[in-house]
Amino acid sequence: MDVSHILDPLNDAQRLAVAADAGNLLVLAGAGSGKTRVLIHRIAWYIETNQARPNSILSVTFTNKAAGEMRGRLEQLLGYSAGAMWVGTFHGISHRLLRAHWKEANLVQNFQIMDSDDQYRMIRRLLRAMALDESKWPPREVQWFINGQKDEGLRPKDISSDDDFHLEQMVHVYRAYEEQCARSGLVDFAELLLRAYELFRDNEHLRRHYQDRFRHVLVDEFQDTNTIQYRWLKLLNGHEGNMFVVGDDDQSIYSWRGAQIENMQRFQDEFRDTELVRLEQNYRSTATILAAANALIANNSGRIGKELWTDGEEGELIPIYTAYNEQEEARFIIENVMDWHREGHRFDEAAVLYRTSAQSRVFEDHLRRNNVPYRVHGGFRFYERAEVKDALAYLRLSAFRSDDTAFERIINTPTRGIGNRSVEAVRAKARENNISLWQAMTDILENKLLTGRALNAFQNFINLIDSMTLDIENTEELHEVLDAIIKRSGLIAHYKKDTSGKAEDRIENLEELVTAAQEFEAPPTDDDEPRMDPMSEFLAHAALEAGEGQADIYEDSIQLMTLHAAKGLEYPLVFLTGMEEGLFPHQRSKDDIRQLEEERRLCYVGMTRAMKKLILTHAEVRRLYGQETYPQVSRFIREIPRELISSVRFGNPESSSSSDEYFDEEPHKQGLGLGQRVSHNTFGQGVILNLEGSGSHTRVQVNFEEVGTKWLVAAYADLQMV
């Protein structure tokens, strides 16, 4: 078979990876080096050289977007549908396995998936039921703990608390949480992975079966795998497997959600005869941008090591803009993008990146005022919206009475006279008898354990849900079921009352949900897999794929996003904003070398998003949490070789001054000295306690007689010697 169309478009390193002999291969793929292309061509290579049949291939990614892109590009290259192949996310594939083997995994057949919000609510309810003080046991922390343990593969029985009371309590809640999940037939995200792992670990027959079947396993973004994902892959690999994993240790930015950068090294140590291929040729950025990024990341320790290069153009120097404050920073960026637009470029070629999502507000304000179209990535997703989750909760409860999370959500939404007292009685009954909330409610009704009014309200609720169940049984199409349920639920009338101006949006979203159900196509399955009913398929889809954030993605607009959200994307013009100590690197990462190195990787990710032009900005004064701060320039700016940057200062953007000021270690004291008595227009008189920074960045700490100690930027404070 002629495979030239697979190998010809590749460079030497890519070809080496794609056409490598079977075995375990680690592809160290730098930013912009064509890693997705390598993955796709590897699969095509397997198939077209008859080394593998589509159904022996498993390709794993982290996001639905990446999985979708992979499938799409693969079908384009192959020229036919890749249906028999398993291409999906870790969670999606785990879910598929658990659906097929629910019995072996000790699940109920119609188990439902909880998203993070559902999980949070369940934990909060649990803490209240256990009468634990929420200020000592914040639900967020408990949730963090439970997910962290699951990511590490630990069940409550695996955790020894060693007389640590706090830990002991945590484990206690963890255990109660597990029981609650089992009782309600619910599975959270981390549980999908852990269960799938345990399924292979404890069931030799199934493990063998899948080891035999998936002879070729490919993994994308390997540096983001957590402990349990790694162990799952290892089980699946068996003894002789062919693993093709692609990753970049320099782009590992998710340790805070369990990713183990060490897995890159472990893979080489623990998987047999692992070969390493480096993809270092970059097809995205200018040589200048790459040189800056290489220099920055070289400050990290323990890297596997690589250096990006390009045979493309040198490119422009990297401007560093010193803004007076964050307002002025926004003004500068917008002016630049307007100029760029006037030169004939599109707005959506420009991206504004920031460390924390709160920073977007200032940019949004300025953009709106200047009537420049923009899009903020991230934020609330479709299936996470309250009204959408309400509607789905009706569907869930109508189908599965044991779903306590759905019950809690809608028992009094819209309000139907079932107040907290009545619900509390139901919760107590459920706890007492170890039954579902629905069952508890029915018991209370039958035994007339509450006042007539409450019982009446219960009866109406039961009638409502029962009628919805009839809808499900008697209606062919899922979207018609949803439509009927939404109408019957009274949610539309309920949200019409919303006075905050969101009423229209909410009702639109409910309508959109019906459309989503109509357009939903169930994912492909194998012949030997039991097919779920369409409703369960749709509910799983809603939980696993939360959908897009903003609807108007087609308008040509400036792209605003956090650095994390920018990973994997590229733009001709990129602004890296807020390059200040305390913001980036973030305050909470500054004192820990591991966290600091992750911040540096984040900066590296940001810089390597830029194709043609990269501009860094920082402010001398920044309002943070309502407080004026005088941050120092980010160390990451100092880590870029000075010959690669040009500096621009607010006030005179035309005259690019020397870049030396960022590197000047010798402080210009401007006549200010320790112990010097000074006077300030607003704060009055005081004594200098401290000096920091250099040149125009000099900051002084002054102990004022009237207002106490303050840090000021000498250049703006206009201090007079006394």
Partner DNA sequence: TCCCGTTCGCACCGT
Partner DNA sequence: GCGAACGGGA
Residues recognised as catalytic: 35-36, 220-221, 251, 609
The residue within the footprint of DNA, chosen from 564, 612, 668, 669 (CB under 7 A), is 564
Nearer to DNA, 87 or 648 (CB): 87
The residue within the footprint of DNA, chosen from 59, 89, 285, 509 (CB under 7 A), is 89
CA angle 27, 28, 29 (to 5 degrees): 100
Residue type, 499: T
CB-based burial label for 687 (10 Å; 0-12, 13-18, 19+): middle
Of the candidates 639, 610, 613, which has an alpha carbon nearest to the alpha carbon of residue 292? Answer: 639
Nearer to DNA, 302 or 419 (CB): 419
Is 72 one of the binding residues for DNA (CB under 7 A)? no
How far apart are alpha carbons 215 and 213 in whole angstroms? 6
How far apart are alpha carbons 580 and 618 in whole angstroms? 6
Instruction: Give the shortest CB-676-to-DNA separation in angstroms.
Output: 31
Instruction: Give the shortest CB-404-to-DNA separation in angstroms.
Output: 18
Residue window 354-373: x/- pattern of binding to DNA, with contact defined by CB under 7 A: -xxxx---------------
How far apart are alpha carbons 354 and 566 in whole angstroms? 10
How far apart are alpha carbons 214 and 86 in whole angstroms? 9
Q: Which two tokens stand for residue 242?
A: 């062919």
Instruction: Give the shortest CB-189-to-DNA separation in angstroms.
Output: 3
Is 490 one of the binding residues for DNA (CB under 7 A)? no
The residue within the footprint of DNA, chosen from 45, 46, 62, 271 (CB under 7 A), is 62
Residue type, 590: K
Tell me which stretch binds DNA (CB under 7 A): 297-305, 523-531, 588-596, 679-687.
Answer: 588-596
Instruction: Give the shortest CB-377-to-DNA separation in angstroms.
Output: 8
Tell me which stretch binds DNA (CB under 7 A): 58-66, 70-78, 295-303, 660-668.
Answer: 58-66
> Mapping DSSP to helix (H, G, I), strand (E, B) and coil, where does residue 692 land?
strand
Is 392 one of the binding residues for DNA (CB under 7 A)? no
Is 83 one of the binding residues for DNA (CB under 7 A)? no
Footprint on residues 137-176 left by DNA (CB under 7 A): 147
Footprint on residues 202-231 left by DNA (CB under 7 A): 226
Tell me which stretch binds DNA (CB under 7 A): 63-71, 476-484, 673-681, 713-721.
Answer: 63-71
494 Cβ contact list (under 8 Å, min separation 6) = 413, 414, 415
How far apart are alpha carbons 437 and 439 in whole angstroms? 5
The residue within the footprint of DNA, chosen from 31, 279, 297, 561 (CB under 7 A), is 561
CA distances, 605 to each of 89, 250, 281, 562, 691 (Å): 22, 8, 16, 11, 34
Count the residues of the shown chain that bind DNA, applying the rule CB under 7 A. Answer: 45
Is 631 one of the binding residues for DNA (CB under 7 A)? no
Is 124 one of the binding residues for DNA (CB under 7 A)? yes
Instruction: Give the shortest CB-287-to-DNA separation in angstroms.
Output: 30
Residue window 299-338: x/- pattern of binding to DNA, with contact defined by CB under 7 A: ----------------------------------------
Torsion of CA 72, 73, 78, 80, to 10 degrees: 10
Is 578 one of the binding residues for DNA (CB under 7 A)? no
Q: Which two tokens stand for residue 600?
A: 């540096």
Our separate counts of H helices and E strands in the chain read 28, 21
Nearer to DNA, 144 or 690 (CB): 144
Nearer to DNA, 17 or 196 (CB): 196
The sign of the dihedral angle between the CA atoms of 415, 416, 417, 418 is negative
Of the candidates 210, 230, 227, which has an alpha carbon nearest to the alpha carbon of residue 58? Answer: 210
Tell me which stretch binds DNA (CB under 7 A): 29-37, 38-46, 353-361, 571-579.
Answer: 353-361
How far apart are alpha carbons 253 and 599 in whole angstroms? 8
Region label for 221, one of left (φ > 0), alpha (ψ between -120 and 50) or beta (otherwise): left
Tell me which stretch binds DNA (CB under 7 A): 458-466, 529-537, 582-590, 708-716.
Answer: 582-590
9 Cβ contact list (under 8 Å, min separation 6) = 37, 41
The residue within the footprint of DNA, chosen from 373, 419, 653, 673 (CB under 7 A), is 419
How far apart are alpha carbons 159 and 201 in whole angstroms? 19
Instruction: Give the shortest CB-656-to-DNA separation in angstroms.
Output: 32
Whether the CB-CB separation of 275 and 20 falls below 8 Å is answered with yes
Is 116 one of the binding residues for DNA (CB under 7 A)? yes
Tell me which stretch binds DNA (CB under 7 A): 305-313, 318-326, 351-359, 688-696.
Answer: 351-359
CB-based burial label for 631 (10 Å; 0-12, 13-18, 19+): buried
Is 626 one of the binding residues for DNA (CB under 7 A)? yes
Is 351 one of the binding residues for DNA (CB under 7 A)? no
Is 416 one of the binding residues for DNA (CB under 7 A)? yes
Instruction: Give the shortest CB-450-to-DNA separation in angstroms.
Output: 14
Whether the CB-CB separation of 583 and 352 falls below 8 Å is answered with no
> Mapping DSSP to helix (H, G, I), strand (E, B) and coil, where does residue 552 land?
coil
The residue within the footprint of DNA, chosen from 251, 322, 489, 562 (CB under 7 A), is 562
Tell me which stretch binds DNA (CB under 7 A): 172-180, 337-345, 411-419, 663-671.
Answer: 411-419
201 Cβ contact list (under 8 Å, min separation 6) = 207, 235
Is 530 one of the binding residues for DNA (CB under 7 A)? no
308 Cβ contact list (under 8 Å, min separation 6) = 30, 31, 32, 33, 280, 281, 282, 285, 290, 293, 294, 608
The residue within the footprint of DNA, chosen from 49, 106, 415, 703 (CB under 7 A), is 415
Tell me which stretch binds DNA (CB under 7 A): 1-9, 324-332, 474-482, 541-549.
Answer: 541-549
358 DSSP 8-state letter: G
Is 125 one of the binding residues for DNA (CB under 7 A)? no
Instruction: Give the shortest CB-376-to-DNA separation in angstroms.
Output: 10
Tell me which stretch binds DNA (CB under 7 A): 155-163, 172-180, 335-343, 416-424.
Answer: 416-424
Of the candidates 91, 204, 108, 188, which has an alpha carbon nearest to the alpha carbon of residue 149? Answer: 188
The residue within the footprint of DNA, chosen from 156, 241, 258, 631 (CB under 7 A), is 258
How far apart are alpha carbons 429 and 439 in whole angstroms? 9
Whether the CB-CB separation of 332 and 321 falls below 8 Å is answered with yes
State the CB neighbour count (10 A cutoff) for residue 655. Answer: 8
Is 589 one of the binding residues for DNA (CB under 7 A)? yes
Nearer to DNA, 277 or 440 (CB): 440
Instruction: Give the shortest CB-134-to-DNA separation in angstroms.
Output: 7
Is 629 one of the binding residues for DNA (CB under 7 A)? no
The residue within the footprint of DNA, chosen from 11, 51, 55, 63 (CB under 7 A), is 63
106 DSSP 8-state letter: T
Of the candidates 471, 308, 315, 486, which has an alpha carbon nearest to the alpha carbon of residue 394? Answer: 486
Is 97 one of the binding residues for DNA (CB under 7 A)? no
Instruction: Give the shortest CB-256-to-DNA separation in angstroms.
Output: 4
Q: Which two tokens stand for residue 133?
A: 């003080």
Instruction: Give the shortest CB-21-to-DNA separation in angstroms.
Output: 32
Instruction: Give the shortest CB-613-to-DNA separation in angstroms.
Output: 23
109 DSSP 8-state letter: T
For the chain, the C-alpha Rg in angstroms (whole number) is 29
Whether the CB-CB separation of 498 and 454 falls below 8 Å is answered with no
The residue within the footprint of DNA, chosen from 4, 50, 76, 135 (CB under 7 A), is 135
Please give the residue ranges that form the binding site for DNA (CB under 7 A).
Answer: 62-65, 89, 91-92, 115-116, 124, 135, 147, 189-190, 226, 256-258, 355-358, 378, 381, 412, 415-420, 544-546, 561-562, 564-565, 586, 588-589, 595, 623, 625-626
